[in-house]
Amino acid sequence: MPDIIVQTNVVYLLAIFFIVFIIREIVAFKKILKLKYVFTPLITYIVIITAMYLSYVRGFTVYNIFIIAGLVFALIADIFLMIEEISFFIHGLFFFLLTHLCYVYALGINYHFGNIDIIIMLVIMVIFFSYYLVIHKTKGTLYIPVMLYMFVLSLVLMLAIGTFIKDEYPRGAIVTIAAILFAVSDGVLAFNRFIKPIPHSTVVTWSLYAPAQLLFAFSCYY
C-alpha cells in the first residue's frame, strides 16, 4: 500500500479520534450521561480500529495480536467503569488486568532480561508500594485484586522502559510513554476511589488514559 495512502488514512483516524475524545471530555465534564455512555467506548473502539489498520499495513504479528486483544479487554473495562449509577469497579479491574497481561506478553516477546531490569523493577515497586501504603486503609475487600493489578502493571512498566533503554526505537519510546500515562491514569482513578473524590475525575483520567491506549495502538506499526 502506498505510503501516501497510509498517511492519509492515519490522519483521518487521528482526526476522528481527537474529535470524539474532545466531545467525550465535554459531555463527561457536563455530566451528560447518555452521551458519555456513547462516546466513552467509542474512543477505545477507534483505537482498536487504528491498531488493526496499522497491523494490516505492517502485517499481523504476535505482538500486534496481543496488543489488539488487550485493547478489546480494555473496551470491556471502559464500559463497566463508565457506569455511574452502579459500581462495576471490580469488573473493570478484572478486564484491565487482562489488558495488562496481554501487554506483558506482547512486550515480553523476544525480550532479553538483564541486570537493568532488576533495577527498573525495584524502583517501580518502591513507587507502587509507597502509593499502596497511602490507599491500603480504604480498599476494604479489594486487597488481593489491587495488589495483583499493581504487580502486573509494574511488569508492563518494566518491560516498556526496558525496551526503551535497550534502544528499540521508536517502539520503546512509544510504549514507555504509553505505560507511564496508563499508570498515572490508574493512580488518579485509585486516588479518586480510595482516598478523596476528585472533581470531574473521569475527565482527568481519560486525558491520560486515551492517549496511552492510542500510543499502544501506534506501537503496532513499529
Which pLDDT band, with edges at 50, 70 and 90, does 12 fall under? very high
Q: What confidence score (pLDDT) does residue 141 get?
A: 65
Q: What confidence score (pLDDT) does residue 143 get?
A: 76
Contact 202, 191 (CB under 8 A): no
Q: Check whether 166 has a pLDDT greater than 80.
A: yes
Q: How many CA atoms lie within 13 A of 51 on its CB side?
A: 25
Q: Check whether 99 has a pLDDT greater than 70.
A: yes
* Spatial CB neighbours of 103, under 8 Å, sequence gap ≥ 6: 66, 67, 70, 156, 159, 179, 216
Question: How many angstroms separate the CA atoms of 115 and 4, rounded?
Answer: 43
Which pLDDT band, with edges at 50, 70 and 90, does 139 fall under? low
Query: What percent of the chain shows pLDDT beyond 90?
Result: 75
Question: How many angstroms separate the CA atoms of 179 and 70, rounded?
Answer: 13
